[in-house]
Chain A
C-alpha cells in the first residue's frame, strides 16, 4: 500500500511543475497552441472519467447508496444547473440534498 503522505507530495509536485513552467516561460509560449489545446481536452476527458469513477464506480462510502440514487442526484444537479441558467451553487445544493434525503429514507426503511 502506497503511503498517503507520498501521494500528497506527488500531487504537490505534479501540480507545481506546471505553475513553475508557466512562470519561467512567460512571454515565450503561445497559450493557445496545439499542445496546450491537447492537454486541455485531455484534462476535460480525465475529469469526466473521474466523475464516473466517483459516482458510478465508487470505491468508498458512496457505494452504500444504490446506483439509481447516485444517477438521480447527478441528473438533479445538471437539471437545476440548466434551469437556474448555469448557476453553480443551487445545482450543487440540489444534488447534495438528493443524496442526503435518499440516505435518510434508506436508513429509516
Chain B
C-alpha cells in the first residue's frame, strides 16, 4: 500500500521554483532517504506532505489531503521538522501531559521509559537542555507515538557526532519494526546510508535519482581501475570518474560485472560518491548548458 503518493508536485516562492514537478511513491514499511544539496526543495516537499505549505499537483498521504486535513493526518503521522523546535519555556512533564492530552496514540509510559535512558528529568525546562538533548527528548516523544509514518527533516543538523549516531541507533533499535514508514531528508548522506531502504536524490526541485537500496547495489558498481586499463574502462562510458589513491575510481551504471571485473577491483559505491556522480554531473551539465 502506498503511504505517500505524490504526482507532479509544484511550488513557487515568488520567482523561485522550489518544486518542479515531483512525483513520488513511498510504500508502507519502507525507509526513504531524501537527499539533496541545500535549497534543493527537500524541506518544501516534506512540508507539502505534512500540510505545512500549499502546493499544486496531486498529493495523498495515508489517504488524506495534507493541506486541508493536517489535524486528521497528524494522528498517524509524526514529524521532526528541524532541530530543537520544542518550545523552550515548557517543562518536560508538561510536555508529556500535553502530548498525552491531545494525541490518541501517545504512550506516556513508553516515553518516560525512553527518557530514563537519558539525563533528562521531568522537572527540567526545555530551555535548560542542550540542542542535542532536546533532540533526544523530541525523539523520545515521537517514538512513543504509534504512528504509521514518521517524517524527519534534517533531524540531526548541527549536532555532534555522538548525538547523531545515537539518534539513528535508537531509531533503528527502538522504533523500526518493518511496518512503519519513515521519510528522512538530509544532505549528510553517509549518516543514513545503513538506515534506509530506498533513496531519492532531489536537485533544484526535481527528482534526479530514485532507487531502492537493493537495486542500487546491483545496478551501480565502482571499479578501481589500474592506469594501464583506463582507456578500456572509459570506453564503457562510466557515469563518473574520480581520482583514488594510485588508481582511478570509475562509477558504472548497469554494466556487466564480469566485464568490469577484468578492469580492476569492484566495489559498491558509497552514497556520497553516487550523490556526487548524479547530482554533481547534473549540476555541471546545467551550468554548461547555461553557458
- Answer yes or no: do A and B interact: no
Q: Which residues of B contact A (CB under 8 A)?
A: none
